[in-house]
Structure 1
Amino acid sequence: MRSIRLTLLAMLCSVPLAHAADGKGMTWTKQAHSSMLGIDQVGCNGGAVDGCNPYQGDTSCKNILPVLCVKNDGSTRPPYTASPSEFYDGWLGGQITTTLPILGDALRSRTVGDKLCSSSFGSGWRMAEFHDNPSGGWGFRAYGNVRSSQHFWVAINDQPANCWNP
């Protein structure tokens, strides 16, 4: 665990923090957990007061939050009912977890987020992306049980709602 912390510290110290003062990144939340199936539903939660904004970002990059990490391992979909549809609530085909909290401004690229996940959890882990749901976007389910008490950084590949976009 100490080597992971030292690696993370080295990554953060090597990142220039010259981000715009009003920069925002997109965050998601845990929306539900099934202890019977061992899965979480995570997503954009756009209808909530503290919902996400995948177009412009919703959270100041000056905030310190964990990164949502995924590992697509081909896990078979358990028998849950998608709500409202597979487009918004599809099966990831793997696992999720979160890193230790990180300053949004330290996420200078998707590669930094991916390296944070793989150095924290091992090979095959990377930063979650808005479109990881193979049926659509906005959210998915996966094996895991992440904290429900806070938001977490998630990347988006076709909009500027990342802390690395000025």
Structure 2
Amino acid sequence: MNKFLLLLLICTVGSTISKKGMTFMKYTHDARFGIDNLSCYAPSDFKGVPVCDAYNGDTDCENLLPVLCVKVDDSPRPAYPVTGEGAAMPVWNYFGWGRGHVASTKPVKASQFQTREAVDAFCADAFGSGWKVQSWQDMSKWISGMGGVDGMKYSGSEWSANADKMQSGGWGFYAYGNLRNDTRLWMDGPHDQVSTCWAH
């Protein structure tokens, strides 16, 4: 086989490998506070991708999915409960407060975006100034011991007064909103991984 045919074969095979992007999903809604729990994990009755892949991406970038957009306005954490054992990180890491609102766009191919800035602009065009794509890098904040069974610890004014105790969370978060729960949503994955459809 000559070099030209070998190069053509390599390019043809390479072009069939699909790039994948990371997605999140609405897991639950708490009507008491008007907040959604967004998560890597899908509810048990969801028929699609059950869990995100923050390292390699979990959904073909050519698929049509809404973009998960956020507007961080530093709203104090409402008194949602946080209970459980945690895993690699303390339980609060997985149920942090997103400090604002979430919304989802019309379904689009993630492959249409070349950069993170382009996705941010898409969110801003859809919902207004200050809206941007949800990023793994700045997902949520948590304070050790927050929530508890009644949810009150480190909520409201107590949350705002303890900014020095806040740590960055991952794998799931709460924010104001009531998104659709029948689809996964494009988001911006960890910047040191290959799980995002566009360039950072």
Asked if these proteins are the same fold (TM beyond 0.5), I'd say: yes
SS at structure 1 position matched to 2:71: strand
Which runs of 5 or more residues in structure 2 are unaligned? Answer: 1-14, 85-90, 142-167
RMSD: 2.0
User: Displacement of 1:21 after TM fit?
Assistant: 4.2
Task: Find the aligned partners of 2:125 and 2:197 in 1 and give their Cα distance.
Answer: 20
- Alignment partners' CA distance in 1, 2:72 and 2:65: 23
Residue 163 of structure 1 corresponds to which residue in structure 2? 197
Larger Cα-atom Rg: 2
CA distance in 1, matches of 2:34, 2:43: 25
Q: Distance in 1 between matches of 2:105 and 2:192?
A: 24
- Which of 90, 93, 100 is equivalent to 2:96? 90
The alignment status of 1:122 with 2:118, answered yes or no, reads no
Residue 149 of structure 1 and its aligned partner are, at CA, apart by 0.4
- Tell me how far apart the structure 1 counterparts of residues 42 and 187 of structure 2 sit (CA, whole Å): 14
Superposition deviation, residue 136 in structure 1: 1.7
Quick one: which amino acid aligns to residue 38 of structure 2?
Answer: V
Q: For 1:62 and 1:149, how far apart are their aligned partners in 2?
A: 18
Report the equivalent of 2:79: 79
Shift of 1:86: 1.6
1:122-141 correspondence to structure 2 within 5 Å: 122-131=128-137, 132-134=139-141, 135-141=168-174
Name segments (4+ residues, structure 1) moved above 4 Å.
Answer: 46-49
- Aligned residue in 1 for 2:148: none
Give the distance between the partners of 2:43 and 2:195, measured in 1 at CA: 17
How far does residue 46 in structure 1 lie from its aligned partner after superposition?
8.0
Identity of aligned residues (%): 41
| Residue 31 (structure 1) aligns with | 27
1:99 aligns with 2:95: no
**TM-score normalized by the length of structure 1:** 0.82
Residue 162 of structure 2 corresponds to none
Tell whether the 8 Å contact from 1:83 to 1:89 is kept in structure 2 after alignment: no
Q: CA deviation at 1:129?
A: 0.9
Measured in 2, the distance between the counterparts of 1:89 and 1:65 equals 24
1:145 counterpart residue number:
178
Q: Normalising to structure 2: TM-score of the pair?
A: 0.68
Q: Which secondary structure state, in structure 2, belongs to the residue aligned with residue 114 of structure 1? A: helix
Spell out, residue by residue over 1:39-82, the C-alpha distance to the aligned partner (whole angstroms, 9 max, x if none).
00002118976210000000001100000000011111110112
Structure 1 unaligned blocks of 5 or more: 1-18
Match of 1:40 in 2: 36
CA contact (8 A) 1:90 1:136 kept: yes
Distance 1:56 1:47 in 2: 21
- In structure 1, how many angstroms separate the alpha carbons of the residues matched to 2:32 and 2:193? 36
Distance in 2, Cα, partners of 1:130 & 1:162: 10
